[in-house]
Amino acid sequence: MANKKSESAFCKVIIDLLWPERVYAKLGRLLGLLSVLSLLKTGFSFGFAKVFEIILSYYKRIVEVTLGWLDPILNNLLNVLGEIFDFQLVINNHWKHIYILLGIYFFRSAEISYKYGYKKTGIFSLFWGIFVGLITSILVGSFDLQNNSYSYNFLVALLPVSGIFCFDLGRQVWISIYDRRMIADIFKEEEKSFQEFFLPIFRRLYAQLIGSIIFVAVMLSFSFLINSKSPFLFISGFLILGMGIYRIFVGISEVQLFKEENETWLEKFDRTSSSSIVKSMFGLIIWVLIFISSSAGLQSFGL
């Protein structure tokens, strides 16, 4: 019986990775896929099979319609700030693809809070994510794509890392202030003080930040990356997807809080706050790999 439950839970995870149940999850997966491919195409001058190039061209048109109207506003704002602080920046198109990728991570975090009954936290996370994502992607988009300097790409690649850190930090401060009593009631524990609740979370976020910085430094040491057209674009995209790996460890720690003995480990993990983000990010990686493999196969036949 236990083996059947484990197999059922495993099959559910695989299905969620390949084809999520909800329509908005499918749409998010598709947008994430196309944004990653656009970053790869920009950063490495990749070419895809003709049919996929057509899909990407339609995606770019949709992105321009939905987000392109912000370009003149943002450039005017940057010009005003440039005159005040004596600098000159022009925003490039790749900011939109970074924004979409960050938006998937931020939206899933907001959706998790709302889904588990923390409605105010979900709403706060949504608007906080829109703000942080916009600022982060604009900053990344304002840097030149043609610079292959190690220090330049290192600093620019740290911007998405800092954006994710700021989002998670702000969200956890909110949770520590407004939700810790509800969390204590759910897990039948004594309510902790703000300091007791927040400090372990802050240590975890700080470790995540340090780990991401080390990852950026190591990745840029590979010659194929530093010699590519835009190393920081690849690293930025990979880091955002890499949050799914980090969330696995968060989910494992959360599993320990569930005491139900009639559930398998996977069923408990599926109930954690991290499972949706893990499935979104890993599912997106699988979709990207399938897309690239299919494109390579079609290209080999001249299609």
Distance CA 106, CA 102 (A): 6
**Could you say which DSSP state residue 193 is in?**
P
How many structural domains does the chain have? 1
- Domain presence at residue 3: no
- Domain presence at residue 15: no
Distance CA 114, CA 121 (A): 7
- Domain presence at residue 107: yes
Structural domain harbouring 164: 20-300
CA 285 to each of CA 36, 145, 256, 288: distance values in angstroms, whole numbers, following the listed order? 9, 24, 27, 5
- Domain presence at residue 92: yes
- Domain presence at residue 14: no
- Is the pLDDT at 288 greater than 70? The verdict is yes
- Domain presence at residue 13: no
Q: What is the pLDDT of residue 151?
A: 82
- Domain presence at residue 218: yes
Tens digits of residue pLDDT in 152-197: 888 888 888 899 899 999 999 999 999 988 888 877 778 889 999 9
Residue holding tokens 């990775």?
Answer: 17
Residue holding tokens 């995209």?
Answer: 237
- Domain presence at residue 65: yes
pTM of the model: 0.85
Q: What one-letter code names the amino acid at 182?
A: M
